[in-house]
Amino acid sequence: MQRPDSGPWRLDHWDSDGSKSFCSNGSRAALAVPGAPEGTLVEAISNGERILLKRTDSGAAIRMPEGECCGLRAVPMPVPAPAGFGWIGNPQLILRVPSVAAVDLAALAPPLRHHVSLPGGTNVSVVEVLAPGEARIRSWERGVEGETLCCGTGCAVAAAWLAAEGGPSEWTLHPTGGEAVTLSIGGLEGGRWRDLWLCGPVHLLGTRHRDVPPSQGIHS
């Protein structure tokens, strides 16, 4: 991350395979890192995506990227369940299933993640609606090439798609990691969302310090 003298806070995220992509949970977590800008609201550009970060009593929230390039789109490949697809700084395929626990995600996700119709691939999530506004979700992330504890962008697209399918505009999602995240959608028009916020806990697990000349900002 780099804190400039003025303007938005700039963040870059690398996946475990060395590729770069927008990461909403990584952006939220950056607020807990020493040297992060102060204040309740922080404007940021994360991997080229303009976002807004907010400190909350329970952790941190992010307003997801929005605009012409972001939103729900037609599902680009055959899928074995009702599905939605969206671009939110990265691609997200969401499948609605009766039970996320019953899904063999390691078998289901890779063929969809690497489908020929998407040269760059896609993240794949399965979602199980428990009640209006509440669901379980499991996510298989590209770049990690495995199931992760919580994919923030996957949760956001899942909530937007479920809202577009007639569900409420506020959702609590329970990811694999066990800590729930909440989402709210300010509006949906033509598949494009407005004021799509994700809020969840942030834990500082450790720090690593090194001397960096002030003129170069703060990097990690």
- DSSP per-residue letters across 40-105: SEEEEEETTEEEEEEEETTEEEEEPP-STT-EEE---S--SS-EEEEESSSEEEEEE-S-STT--H
The band of 90, judged by pLDDT with boundaries at 50, 70 and 90, is very high
pLDDT digits over 149-181, tens only?
999 999 999 999 999 999 999 999 999 999 999
List the domains of the chain with CATH numbers: 9-65+202-216 (no CATH), 71-198 (3.10.310.10)
Closest listed residue to residue 154, CA positions, set 129, 134, 183, 130? 183
How much is the pTM? Answer: 0.91
Contact 108, 143 (CB under 8 A): no
Q: Which of 3-12, 85-94, 140-149 shows the lowest per-residue confidence on average (mean pLDDT)?
A: 3-12
Closest listed residue to residue 108, CA positions, set 98, 100, 117? 100
Region 72-79: mean pLDDT is 96
The band of 17, judged by pLDDT with boundaries at 50, 70 and 90, is confident
Does the pLDDT at position 5 exceed 70? no
Closest listed residue to residue 199, CA positions, set 1, 55, 8, 41? 55
If you search the block for the tokens 């956001």, which residue do you land on? Answer: 156
pLDDT digits over 109-136, tens only?
999 999 999 989 999 999 999 999 999 9
